[in-house]
Structures are given as C-alpha cells and as structure tokens.
Structure 1
Amino acid sequence: MTAALNRLPLLDREQVVRVALRLLDEAGLDGLTLRRLAAELDVKAPALYWHFTNKQDLLDHMAHVMTEPWMRAVAVTTAGQGWEDWLAEVARTYRALLLSHRDGARLAASTRPLPGSLPLLDGCIAAFQQATGCGPGQALQCLTTLIAFVRGFVLDEEAERHRVQEQPGPRTRQGSKRTVPRGGQPVPHLDAAMHETGSPNGEGTFEYGLHLILDGIGGTLRRHTTPRNDAQATSGIHKAAV
C-alpha cells in the first residue's frame, strides 16, 4: 500500500482514462474492471478513488475523452456547407467514432455528459441554429434524434459483430450479403429484400435511415421556422438539395 501511495503523484486522471480506453478495446465494457485497470497501472484499486468516485464516474470521463474531439469538430464544420450536408457529416463521423472503440456505442449510451461537455453541446446547438435559422429547442431535438439513431444503429452493429464472433463455423467475408436462417420456412420477400439491400446492419441501411431523418428534419424546418428566419432556412435547404 505504501508503494502504491508513493506512486499516486505520478498517476493523473488523464493517464487513467487513456489506459481505461485501451483496456476497453482489449476486453470490452464487460471486461473493464477497476481491479484490472489498477493492475495495468501498477497500483492498488483504492488508488483509483483519488480520481473517480466510482466506476460510473470513470465511464463518464472515458466517454467525454472519446467524444470531445468530435464535438469540437461538429461546432466548426458548418462553414461553406448546407445544413443537410453538415448533419450527414455529423452522423457519419459519430458512427465512425463509436465504431473505432470496442463497445463504443455501449459506453456512450451508458454515460451522462460531464459539466465540461456542456459548452461543447452548446456550440453544436449554436452551429445548427446558424445553419438552419431554427430555435434552440428545435436544434437540440433534431441533434438528439440524429445522435440517437446513430448510437442505436451502432449498438446493433456491435451486437451482430459479437454474435458472429461467438458462432462456430466459417464466417462470411466482410461486406458480403448476409444470409437468413430459414428453419425450413419459405421467406421469399425477406430473401428478395436481403438480395436487394444486403445486411440490415450494413452501410446502405445506415445511409437510407440517415437520409430519412434528414428529409424529416427538412420538412419540420419548412413548417416551423419562424418568419424572421424563413429566407435563411429556405436558402440552406435549397443549397443542400442541389
């Protein structure tokens, strides 16, 4: 214990979070324990409580570190883009971020923003308002809807990846069309749909869902934008459509 305490000044919160994210990629969310993290840092588990009140506090900080660069980028990428192109980029980069870490979507879904994340969220709302001319409440609802779709989609992708890893037998090539276990029952419409679109967890389905949401946001903006900002919003929608 004395040796561990002697090492405490060398152990900072940033270092702990960085190692925790590495362990997340190695062991997944279920395998990330405070005991394992402490062993990796060569300290006793109680030493971690100098920096985090509990495991949930650690997870909240991990999610903040994971998403902070993305949120900063979101707020400054509207220049020269229509709102629709900007939101599509927001969604695609968020998906890429979540997929870049094992159980990244589970981590994001199981945590709450830290106080340090709130100014970043505020900047995202401001950027959306500037791009569309809508009010702050509508901007928050649109962004929340988009983020919830991306996070849910990646959760399904993660679950499918886990299922494939756990199933015995040969695996299909990445990107190949997914087959459906039929159990002896004919499913001609499902077969036709899978042949046409590929995996329901694939790139095509993500893009289809993304554009459904963007179309819905566009319709909402046209119906509910205040008269003062009608010209600005209409201009943004027109630029995104051409």
Structure 2
Amino acid sequence: MTGRLPRGSLDRDLILAAAERLAAEAGLGEVTIRRVAAALGVQHPAVHYHFARRDDLVDALLARAVERFNEALPVVESDDWEDHLRHYWEGFRAVLRADPALFELVVGQWARMGRSQQALDSSYLRIDAQLGVLLRAGFSPEQAGYAYHLLSTYTRGCLVSEYQFAGSLGATAPGEPLEASAKTLPGDLGQYPNLSKVVAHSWSYTFATDADYTNGLAIIVQGLRAWLEPTPL
C-alpha cells in the first residue's frame, strides 16, 4: 500500500491485510508493529491502538489466516471416503499453492499456531470434520489419527518442497515454470543405473510436481484401504 490513509480510516482488517502481505513477502519474522505501520503509511501508535503488542498482532494474523484458509477450501460432498480424501487434500494443496501468504502462515508457522487459541479453534473445527469422515468409514480412532497425520504431513511436505524450489528460481509461488523446470535431474546419471531407469519414467527434482503429488496420494489412499479390508482366515 502506498500513500497515507485518511484520518480515522485505520481498522483491524486493514492492519491485518497489510501484515499478511508483509508475511508473504518477507516471512512472519519481519511482521512488526513498526513495519506494518510503515507499510500503511501511518505512525506506529496508530497500529498499537488496535494491537498493544506484536504477539497480539501475530495471533490475530494467524487466526485470520486459518479462517481464510478454511473458507477457501472446496466443499467435498462425496459419501465415498476415498473420493473425499482425494478431493479434500488436492483442494488443500491447491489453495496453499496459489496463495503465498496463506502458505507462510498456515504451513510455515505450523508450530507457532499453537500459541493462538483462536487459530487453534478454527483448525480443530476443520480437523474434527476430516476425522469424522475417517471414523464413519470404519477406521479406528488410532487409525484415523495416523491417517490424518500422514496425509497432512505428506501434503505440507510437498508444498514446502515446491515453495523452496520456486524460491530458488526466483518465483513467488509454485506454477508452470516450476513444473517445467522440475522434471529433469542435473548431471550425468550414467554411473547410477537404477536411478537412470527410474528417472526415465517417474522422477522430478522437487519430488512434488502435480504427478508426484497425485500418485503419492493414490498410494497413501490404497494403503489406508488395506486397513479396512478383512484379514484372511
């Protein structure tokens, strides 16, 4: 944002929007009262009026990010648990691939999220619904927990890999240039016979292209299906 705001127009939403842009550009560590005020063209006491401490600002920012993320997720109406998992986690990935600010706050600050009760409550509401899908499908509570952990860790890990690779190419987020650049490995692979065979069919530098993610998700779902199949007598 450039220029100064009209007197009296500053509110929490404007401050949080500026803080989110700053987090996307420079990381949450650079989000301070003074830097947000500078981005808005106001003096820092004007931001302090709404957020007494930086921690208050960060907590509100994380809570806003989780709520915005939840709202952006596609609604999955399938009664088939396998179809639901595929669509939900593909949507989870798609939303965060398209929005660097949400990626930084929802994935990059995963551990910090626990310090914001409002962010936790919003996250728990979404997680609770997804666990319900698994429990209704017949998974035990223990299995449902492991399944959610696996799917979440896999999806977030793929996103981290993509964003890191995109950053090395000077991109702000994963996209077509990343997909094109990630399909080959550098160097002469002649001395690695097994790697050479695999690279010719199913390998990428990031391990996280669309094909990588989709096939990995299919393997996970297939493995989960085996938990529900009766054990042969």
Residue 129 (structure 2) aligns with: 123
- Partner in structure 2 of residue 205 of structure 1: 212
Q: Which residue of 1 aligns with 2:147?
A: 142
Q: Distance between the aligned counterparts of 1:211 and 1:19, measured in 2? A: 39
Code of the aligned partner of 1:214: V
Gaps of 5+ in 2: 114-118, 172-176
Using structure 2 for the length normalisation, give the TM-score: 0.71
* AA partner of residue 119 (structure 1): L
Task: Give percent identity, aligned residues only.
Answer: 24
User: Runs of at least 4 residues of structure 1 off by over 6 A?
Assistant: none
Give the counterpart letter for 1:146 in structure 2: L
Match of 1:51 in 2: 51
Q: Distance in 2 between matches of 1:194 and 1:184?
A: 9
CA root-mean-square deviation:
3.4
Instruction: Report the more deviating stretch, 150-159 or 210-219.
Output: 210-219
For 2:58 and 2:228, locate their aligned partners in 1 and report how far apart those are by CA, in whole Å: 37
Q: Which residue of 2 aligns with 1:230?
A: none
Aligned to 2:174: none
SS at match of 2:170: helix
* Aligned counterpart, 1:33: 31
Shift of 1:176: 5.3
Question: CA offset at residue 154 of structure 1?
Answer: 0.5
Q: Which protein is richer in helix relative to its size?
A: 1
Q: Is 1:106–1:155's contact at 8 Å kept on the other side of the alignment?
A: no
Q: Do the aligned partners of residues 174 and 143 (structure 1) sit closer, same or farther apart at CA in structure 2, a change above 3 Å counting?
A: closer
Tell me the amino acid that sits aligned with residue 21 of structure 1.
E
Q: Does the 8 Å CA contact 2:19/2:31 hold for their aligned counterparts? A: no
Secondary structure of the residue that 1:165 maps to in structure 2? coil
Residue 163 of structure 1: how far off its partner (Å): 1.4
Q: Please name the residue that 2:91 is paired with.
A: 93
The separation in 1 between residues aligned to 2:131 and 2:63, in whole angstroms, is 22
2:224 is aligned, of 207, 217, 221, to: 217
Q: State the AA in 2 paired with 1:144.
A: H
Question: How big is the shift at 1:93?
Answer: 0.4
CA distance in 2, matches of 1:84, 1:60: 30
Q: How many residues in Structure 1 have an aligned counterpart in Structure 2?
A: 208
8 Å contact from structure 2 (residues 183, 203) kept in 1: yes
**1:173: Cα distance to partner?**
7.5
Deviation at 1:158, TM superposition (A): 0.5
Give the AA of the match of 1:181.
P
In 2: Cα distance, 1:33 partner to 1:210 partner = 35
Aligned 8 A contact 2:182 2:209 in 1: no
Distance in 2 between residues matched to 1:211 and 1:66, nearest whole Å: 28
Aligned to 2:100: 102
| Contact 2:81 2:133 (8 Å CA) reproduced | no
Note the residue ranges of structure 1 that are not aligned, 5 or more in a row.
Answer: 167-171, 225-242
